[in-house]
């Protein structure tokens, strides 16, 4: 078994190795794990800088179409040049990027799988590269928000209004709220508008990921709903959700680590049967 491992926002591959050590110690010793660094610099994740050295990296910053597409292209390039990989393990943003790649490739090439099994740890929500983009425009304050939906063809015109309330839609509400929390005003970026992507959601997309998956979700994780939303677009017959009492972190308690290792072995067994 050979896995590609993707770190979270504001960390790096060496940090992910340290975070995964308790888990990997409970998996078969002949399995291989390759770690990939994101290509963009980032502010360190909370609590990381005092323990680990930089550089602190991410696969993409704000969920703008070009940056997310570059992250997807990076993963695909590594798979093509250094693969094949049997599976992928991602934490936080790394998990979301992995899910974005898998779901997007399923749409493009439904009979070709980049990975045969996926492990999503504290995942944030994956992005739909084919659903167009939202343009968030501010006039004066963060409360004066205008939202237009532009189609995937990017022909310069917004999609006709279909009555969707993008401030509350499942595909966009989290993206907008997170952006507003980080940017009180777009003047911080020297601009008045930004384009962001929509997320996948089961209410719109149904099941998109048809390989065995494991989802580890903390009850106190601010992104727990996004992790559960990701699980909802994966085939429930070959999917397991492992929960723990912690937050947005890789659990280190023996019980959860053991349950996660057992779930991964279960998923790999299903992968062998599934294929």
Three-state secondary structure call for residue 147: strand
Same domain, 225 and 181: no
Pairing of strands 239-244, 127-139: unpaired
8 A C-beta contact, residue 195 and residue 133:
yes
Same domain, 46 and 74: yes
Same domain, 160 and 115: no
Tokens 């050979």 belong to residue: 2
Q: How many CB atoms lie within 10 A of CB 190?
A: 6
Please determine, for residue 56, whether its predicted confidence score (pLDDT) is greater than 90: yes
Among 164, 199, 234, the domain-final residue is: 199
Please determine, for residue 239, whether its predicted confidence score (pLDDT) is greater than 90: yes
Same domain, 42 and 90: yes
Among 158, 183, 199, the domain-final residue is: 199
Same domain, 21 and 157: no
pTM of the model: 0.91
What's the pLDDT at 47?
Answer: 82
pLDDT 10s digits, 5-17? 999 999 999 999 9
Same domain, 108 and 193: no
What's the pLDDT at 240?
Answer: 97
Among 199, 216, 248, the domain-final residue is: 199
Structurally, the chain folds into a number of domains equal to 2
- Domain containing residue 139: 128-199
CA-to-CA distance for 57 and 74, rounded, in angstroms? Answer: 14
8 A C-beta contact, residue 88 and residue 119:
yes
pLDDT 10s digits, 61-106? 888 899 999 999 999 999 999 989 999 999 999 999 999 999 999 8
Tokens 């740890």 belong to residue: 121
């Amino acid at each position: 078994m050979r896995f590609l491992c993707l770190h979270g926002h504001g960390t790096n591959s060496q940090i992910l190795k340290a975070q995964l050590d308790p888990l990997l110690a409970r998996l078969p010793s002949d399995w291989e794990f390759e770690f990939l660094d994101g290509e963009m610099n980032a502010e360190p994740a909370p609590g990381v800088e005092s323990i680990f050295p930089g550089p602190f990296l991410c696969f993409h910053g704000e969920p703008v179409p070009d940056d997310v597409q570059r992250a997807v292209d990076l993963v695909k390039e590594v798979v093509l040049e250094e693969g094949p990989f049997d599976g992928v393990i991602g934490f936080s943003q790394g998990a979301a990027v992995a899910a974005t790649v898998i779901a997007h490739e399923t749409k493009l090439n439904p009979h070709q799988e980049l990975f045969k099994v996926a492990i999503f740890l504290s995942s944030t929500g994956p992005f739909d590269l084919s659903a167009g983009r939202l343009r968030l425009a501010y006039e004066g304050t963060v409360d004066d928000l205008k939202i237009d939906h532009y189609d995937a063809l990017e022909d310069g015109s917004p999609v006709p209004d279909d009555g969707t309330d993008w401030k509350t839609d499942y595909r966009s509400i989290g993206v907008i709220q997170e952006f507003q929390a980080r940017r009180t005003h777009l003047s911080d970026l020297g601009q008045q508008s930004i384009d962001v992507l929509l997320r996948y959601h089961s209410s719109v997309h149904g099941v998109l990921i048809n390989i065995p998956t494991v989802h580890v979700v903390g009850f106190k994780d601010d992104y727990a709903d996004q992790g559960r939303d990701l699980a909802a677009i994966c085939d429930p017959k070959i999917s397991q959700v492992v929960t723990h009492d912690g937050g947005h972190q890789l659990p280190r308690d023996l019980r959860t680590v053991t349950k996660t290792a057992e779930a991964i072995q279960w998923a790999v067994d299903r992968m062998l049967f599934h294929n």
